[in-house]
Amino acid sequence: MNAMDFLIKNREGRKLIAWQDSLPEPTNPPVLICGGFSRRMSTLSALACYLLKNGANVYRFDYLDHVGLSEGEILDFTIASMEKSLESVLPWVSALEGETKINLLAISLGAVPAVFQAVKNPNIAALGCLVGVVHARSTFERVFGTDYYSWEFDRLPDTIVFEGHKLNPRGLWQENLKTGVADFPAMKDALSKLSVPVMNLVASEDQWLTLEEVNEAFSVPGGGGREIVDLPYGGHELARNPLALRLAMKHMIAGFFYDGDISRVSDPSFEEIADFRVADRNRSRGKELHLFDLSRNEKESFAFGKS
């Protein structure tokens, strides 16, 4: 396996950090992982390990205005910054993979920008979601204990806190006023336009997402196959339950590569996953990067640089 780290400079000149893990001879199409809210790409080791074990090149990135290595702070987080990040990373994957179409694997809130981009980008072959959020407003209300979108703007607190991270709720409030991106109709509209297969795995003990919401979202008319998998155990943080994560990844990989046949999925050992996690922790401290510059010219983008 070959691991390479990239600095992606998007068309606005903002900088994202992304990782490529590639195989000498991949046997399945590439997968771009879209992480969840307040999660770094370095926490996605187990998912990457499963995909590599099944013959796919794997790509990961940290969102702008988020935690992790990319530009900006989570204080300024918006759903738009997640989608802009994904929109900037997709050409990088396409440049490295050539004509091969890309599968998206989205976790939690990462499903929202992933659905929007899957509607817009013809290079996306399929979308798989692990506990994929379909109604951001309801999920935020469960997370924070109140629906900040319903507050008057002048009464919003300066910051709200999630797992020790401070966010400015005004940015989220203002973007939703303009676009409705966090409201259910926006997701339903996007799913109605989606023409690629989409799967969402919902855990039975999830406190931030309900099966009823996913069923309602997926019931809208539209093209592309749709599948909902009801996992019999596990919460929203699947990575905290290795057995739930293993079952989820078997379903996901079977859907991506093996026509739903779980028996064809190869499982990495727990030792392989542990070693991969250690390597990722060390990797997150690295400074050597390859530059991919969308702000200049994609054909000249692979000059070597340092950050």
For residue 265, is it within any domain? yes
Residue 306 lies in a domain: no
CATH of the domain at 210: 3.40.50.1820
Average pLDDT, the chain: 94
What's the whole-number mean pLDDT along residues 251-262?
97
pLDDT at 9 over 50: yes
Total domains in the fold of the chain? 1
Residues shown for the chain: 307
What pLDDT was estimated at residue 240?
Answer: 83
Query: pLDDT confidence of 196, banded at 50, 70, 90?
Result: very high
Predicted confidence (pLDDT) at residue 303 exceeds the cutoff of 70: no
* pLDDT band of 223, cuts 50, 70, 90: confident
**Tokens representing residue 36 in the block:** 């969840």
Query: Per-residue pLDDT averaged across 132-136, rounded?
Result: 98
Within-domain flag for 304: no
pLDDT band at residue 54 using 50, 70 and 90 as cut-offs: very high
Confidence (pLDDT) at 233: 85
In this prediction, residue 139 has a pLDDT band, given cuts at 50, 70 and 90, of very high
The whole domain housing 70 covers 2-295
* Residue 146 pLDDT exceeds 60: yes
Q: What is the pTM of this model?
A: 0.95
- How far is it, in rounded angstroms, from Cα 36 to Cα 112? 10
Whether 305 maps to a domain, the answer reads: no
Residue 302 lies in a domain: no
The reply to whether 246 falls in a domain is yes
Backbone angles phi, psi at 3, to 5 degrees: -110, 125
- 222 domain-assigned: yes
Phi, psi of 182 (to 5 degrees): -90, -10
Q: Answer yes or no: is pLDDT of 306 > 70.
A: no
| Mean pLDDT confidence for 142-169 | 96
In a domain, 301, yes or no: no
